[in-house]
Amino acid sequence: MNEIRPRPIKDLAAETPRPNNLDAFWMPYTNNRGFKATPRLLAGAEGVHYFTNDGREILDGTAGLWCCNAGHVRPEIRDAIKRQADVMDFAPTFQMGHPIAFEAAARLIQLTPKGLDRIFWTNSGSEAADTALKIALAYQKARGQAQRVRLVGRERGYHGVGFGGMSVGGIGTNRKQFGTLLPHVDHLPHTHAPEHNAFARGQPEHGAHFADALENLVQLHGDTIAAVIVEPLAGSTGVLIPPKGYLERLRELTTKHGILLIFDEVITGFSRLGQYFGSDRLGVTPDILTMAKGLTNAAVPMGAVAATSAIYDTITNTAAPGIEFFHGYTYSGHPLACAAALAAMEIHRAEDLPGRARDLEPYFADAVHSLRDHPNVIDIRNLGLVAGIEMQPRAGKPTDRATKVFQRCFDTGLLTRTTGDTVALSPPLVFERGHVDRMVDLLGAAIRAEAA
């Protein structure tokens, strides 16, 4: 009897026809006109590679979009989703429940930082950010601090695209098209100080004092601040690493002033910085923590908010009988997402992905910093398996240089990500040293070619 072998994914990808119509899909965060003129289509993925439908192999230098931390098409995750789909596709979690949503939450709190042991399921990082802000407001009200309605974010922060996340976010281009934002929002200064910290490896020395700006905001707003939300490492703005002592100081000040501290760990969660969560790596525990991306290895959309029992108990026990928190999504705790999350978490444990990331970090750091003397490179920043390579913007054409480097990388077989004039790298945590070498060779060649 002939054995039936699965076809290689690369071949299946190469057989995927190019869509006839590129017009109907209004693409997110995309130069639609440019893309549709010269599309970049990924049709298959496996391990640390993508495959295009014209048969090319692309090394994934960004774990998709900072999310496929365990590599692509992991059989364990794929099979878990299939098994769950055979048993139950969907069940509501409003006034109802299903076992796997509880199982996944109970498993997740074994990984979250100590004390963060209540899980609210969402479907994305944006929803997690807005949920976290609503939990903070509800908590302050429940504990008799109803005047605390103000939310503080940080310049250059990114917390997704809901109105809450957009308002506390601090990237101008994400806000200015829309006019109306949440009221009662203020921002801390960002922590980027290249005049002191350029080419620092790991956490830079200078900048703990940026957290002291919270004292000024408290002076200004009194006891009306409910929460401060920051990314422990700001990813989407171009990889800003927290200065030594900065997050510690923020923790101190928020506690002192009765303000909740929220860490948005949508990027830094799930072993990216060499521990399960960035707060473990950076030694600071928030009151509320958001996550998404690596939670399911991106195989099914899912996000989550982890909060302390004290927050859960305060909101729950002070509520009138009945529903305690008027918030939730149809797909909160979706069975397929929970199946994917359980399988992904098991991979992180069984393969010690935090340890793998930690082991590779010095090699990765040496490799990316070897680009220091390349033309137009003005800064390189790294922590865990994240790096940002900042380019001198072209006069009068911001973002042009990095965008062209990104395009050249794609053409030569490497997926990178750019924001502004920074090229960001966040490879799957299952990268080997040889993959790091190839990634940095291709990126270096693209940077040199772009300067020629």
> What residues make contact with ligand PLP under the rule CB under 6 A?
124-126, 129, 158-160, 231, 235-236, 264, 266-267, 292
Q: How far is the CB of 265 from ligand PLP (least distance, A)?
A: 7
Q: Which is nearer to ligand PLP, 71 or 238 (CB)?
A: 238
Q: Which is nearer to ligand PLP, 46 or 264 (CB)?
A: 264
Q: Which is nearer to ligand PLP, 124 or 403 (CB)?
A: 124
Q: How far is the CB of 28 from ligand PLP (least distance, A)?
A: 9
Q: How far is the CB of 232 from ligand PLP (least distance, A)?
A: 9
For residue 239, which of 400, 421, 451, 31 has the smallest C-alpha distance? 421
For residue 124, which of 310, 295, 372 has the smallest C-alpha distance? 295
244, exposed or middle or buried, with CB in 10 Å at 0-12, 13-18, 19+?
middle
Q: Which is nearer to ligand PLP, 150 or 159 (CB)?
A: 159
Q: Which is nearer to ligand PLP, 28 or 183 (CB)?
A: 28
- Cα–Cα–Cα angle for 312, 314, 319, rounded to 5 degrees: 100
For residue 52, which of 66, 65, 38, 67 has the smallest C-alpha distance? 38
118 token code pair: 């209540």
CA–CA gap between residue 21 and residue 42 (Å, rounded): 16
Q: How far is the CB of 171 from ligand PLP (least distance, A)?
A: 11
Q: How far is the CB of 228 from ligand PLP (least distance, A)?
A: 15
Q: Which is nearer to ligand PLP, 377 or 420 (CB)?
A: 420
Q: How far is the CB of 125 from ligand PLP (least distance, A)?
A: 2
- Cα–Cα–Cα angle for 114, 157, 388, rounded to 5 degrees: 90
Q: Which is nearer to ligand PLP, 46 or 60 (CB)?
A: 60
For residue 14, which of 47, 48, 58 has the smallest C-alpha distance? 58
The string of DSSP letters for 55-115 reads S-EEEETTHHHHT-TT-BS-HHHHHHHHHHHHH-S----SS---HHHHHHHHHHTTTSPTT
Q: How far is the CB of 110 from ligand PLP (least distance, A)?
A: 23
At a CB cut-off of 8 Å and minimum separation 6, what does 24 contact?
Answer: none
Q: How far is the CB of 381 from ligand PLP (least distance, A)?
A: 16
The rounded radius of gyration (Å) of the Cα atoms in the chain is 22
Q: Which is nearer to ligand PLP, 231 or 450 (CB)?
A: 231
CA–CA gap between residue 272 and residue 386 (Å, rounded): 7
Q: Which is nearer to ligand PLP, 45 or 295 (CB)?
A: 295
CA–CA gap between residue 355 and residue 41 (Å, rounded): 33
Please give the single-letter amino acid code of residue 80.
Answer: A
Q: Which residue has the closest beta carbon to ligand PLP?
A: 125
Rounded to the nearest 10 degrees, the angle between the axes of helix 400-412 and helix 433-451 is 130
Q: How far is the CB of 159 from ligand PLP (least distance, A)?
A: 5
Q: How far is the CB of 152 from ligand PLP (least distance, A)?
A: 16
3-state helix, strand, coil in the chain (%, to 5): 40, 15, 45
Q: Which is nearer to ligand PLP, 191 or 376 (CB)?
A: 191
Per DSSP, which regions of 206-328 are E strands? 225-230, 260-264, 288-291, 303-307
